[in-house]
Amino acid sequence: MTDSRRLIALTQELVATNSESPPGREKEVAKVLRSHMEDYGISCVSIGSSERPNLLFSTKDGEKGPLVIHGHMDTVPAGPRESWVHDPFGGEIVDGLLYGRGAADMKGPVAALAETMIQYYDEAHETPLLMLATSDEESGCTGAEEVAKSGYLKGVQFGVCAEPTSLNVLVGEKGILWSRLATKGKAAHASRPEEGLNAIELCIQALEVLTGSEYDYESDPVLGTPTWNIGVIQGGVKVNVVPDSCEARLDMRTVKGQSPQGLLDAMNKRLESAGLSDKAKVDYIHGKPAVVTPFDTEIVKVSIDTVSRITGINPVPKAATYGTDCSVLQPEIGILNVICGPGSIEQAHQPNEFIDVNQLVQSVDVYLGIARHFSRS
């Protein structure tokens, strides 16, 4: 039976331990989590930097089973304190909701995974259960990359990512392409603009070319269609100077049939066709592929059945529009994942972030149900 007091206390301690990224302060959270788990006999291996570690726990002294449950230890910054009614590092509970930065994304879910491991260990299953807690998920999943390169998870078949889904079961996620558009003009006095070349105007023109129509992709009922966001535009030095440079940063959420390199090539080809290639260029910043786990995969069937049995919810599998560590663990290791966690993604990255305590407790039963299935198989 879930020890709700232990679970809530760990959630509050994790929330109280600042791990905002940037700058990246997972070290102290990792200490709290590792100490908690080792107190209950669960072994731990640290992977990567001591300042930004990734922790891999096992219920059988480092042995591997078919399943890993996973989440991340970093959070986005809390932002201005005046935006918060509740202390972002207080873990205050009001009317059944636990408030704080990371309460939903995803210190509450990580605490639920830890409680799952403790209960599974106490049940003395022969099949080991693994739990992974990563660093630097919020800024590019570099912690998961370190874990993939380490080889520790080689051979693990299935994963449950505990990102907040209100305990719905997601079977994939859109990919990400972050790119930089740079335009080069010629400076001049603003009173004689004909003597210069306005890089901001070039940037606007190039953006219209780049985002004016769709890029090729494969239709998929789960992933849907790609999306664009122009997140940053920077250019110019003074109002009375024709700007000689400008930069825009673009976020594209990608689907099947799209790769970062393929899209970059297509974007620069568009600029060339528009006669802008000598003044504008798109460069790569960061990218992850779209991933989907087929509906008929065992982890999907078991997760849906377990959530339905425990919560009464009948999950309708769909894809996340946001990125998770699955974008690394699935293509680079071969781990087939579902995403299922307590809390709402609508709370992520928001002031007064919270998680419903009852759903937090219930999630442990969901994870245990999934883990027990793979112990029997």
3-state per-residue secondary structure call for the chain:
CCCHHHHHHHHHHHHHCCCECCCCCHHHHHHHHHHHHHHCCCEEEEECCCCCCEEEEECCCCCCCCEEEEEECCECCCCCHHHCCCCCCCCCEECCEEECCCHHHHHHHHHHHHHHHHHHHHCCCCCCCEEEEECCCCCCCHHHHHHHHHCCCCCCCEEEECCCCCCCCEEEECEEEEEEEEEECECEECCCHHHCECHHHHHHHHHHHHHCCCCCCCCCCCCCCCEEEEEEEEECCCCCEECCEEEEEEEEEECCCCCHHHHHHHHHHHHHHCCCCCCEEEEEEEEECCEECCCCCHHHHHHHHHHHHHHCCCCCCEEECCCCCHHHHHHHHCCEEEECCCCCHHHCCCCCCEEEHHHHHHHHHHHHHHHHHHHHC
Tell me the C-alpha to C-alpha distance, in Å, between residue 371 and each of 67, 227, 289, 300, 328. 7, 35, 27, 13, 22
1 confidence band (pLDDT: 50, 70, 90) = confident
- The model's pLDDT over 213-231, given as tens digits with 9 standing for 90+, comes to 999 999 988 999 999 999 9
- How do the domains of the chain map onto residue ranges? 4-173+290-376, 175-288
- The model's pLDDT over 55-108, given as tens digits with 9 standing for 90+, comes to 999 999 989 999 999 999 999 999 999 999 999 999 999 999 999 999 999 999
Mean pLDDT across 362-367 = 98
pTM, whole model, 2 decimals?
0.91
Task: Give me the pLDDT at residue 313, please.
Answer: 87
d(CA 49, CA 74) in angstroms, rounded, equals 14
- The model's pLDDT over 25-41, given as tens digits with 9 standing for 90+, comes to 899 999 999 999 999 99
d(CA 248, CA 239) in angstroms, rounded, equals 19
Mean pLDDT across 332-351 = 96
Whether pLDDT at 2 is above 90? no
Cβ atoms within 10 A of the Cβ of 89, count? 18
What percent of the chain is modeled with pLDDT above 90?
95
Mean pLDDT across 143-165 = 97
Find, among 158, 99, 179, the residue nearest to 330 by Cα.
Answer: 158
Tell me the C-alpha to C-alpha distance, in Å, between residue 132 and each of 144, 160, 188. 9, 10, 56
Task: Give me the pLDDT at residue 98, please.
Answer: 98
Peptide bond into 226 cis (omega under 30): no
- The model's pLDDT over 104-135, given as tens digits with 9 standing for 90+, comes to 999 999 999 999 999 999 999 999 999 999 99
Task: Give me the pLDDT at residue 85, please.
Answer: 97
183 confidence band (pLDDT: 50, 70, 90) = very high
377 confidence band (pLDDT: 50, 70, 90) = low
Radius of gyration of the chain (CA): 23
d(CA 338, CA 303) in angstroms, rounded, equals 8
- The model's pLDDT over 33-62, given as tens digits with 9 standing for 90+, comes to 999 999 999 999 999 999 999 999 999 998
- The model's pLDDT over 253-308, given as tens digits with 9 standing for 90+, comes to 999 999 999 999 999 999 999 999 999 999 999 999 999 999 999 999 999 999 99
- The model's pLDDT over 266-275, given as tens digits with 9 standing for 90+, comes to 999 999 999 9
Q: Under CATH, which number does the domain 4-173+290-376 receive?
A: 3.40.630.10
Residue 133 and residue 55 in contact, taking contact as beta carbons nearer than 8 Å: yes
Burial label for 171, CB within 10 Å (0-12, 13-18, 19+), is: buried
Give one word for 362, left, alpha or beta, with left for phi > 0 and alpha for psi -120 to 50: alpha
Q: Under CATH, which number does the domain 175-288 receive?
A: 3.30.70.360
d(CA 294, CA 113) in angstroms, rounded, equals 24
Find, among 290, 283, 367, 370, the residue nearest to 328 by Cα.
Answer: 290
Q: What is the mean pLDDT of the chain?
A: 96
Task: Give me the pLDDT at residue 179, please.
Answer: 98
Q: Which residues are within 8 A (CB) of 80 and not within 5 positions of it... i.e. 6 or more apart?
A: none
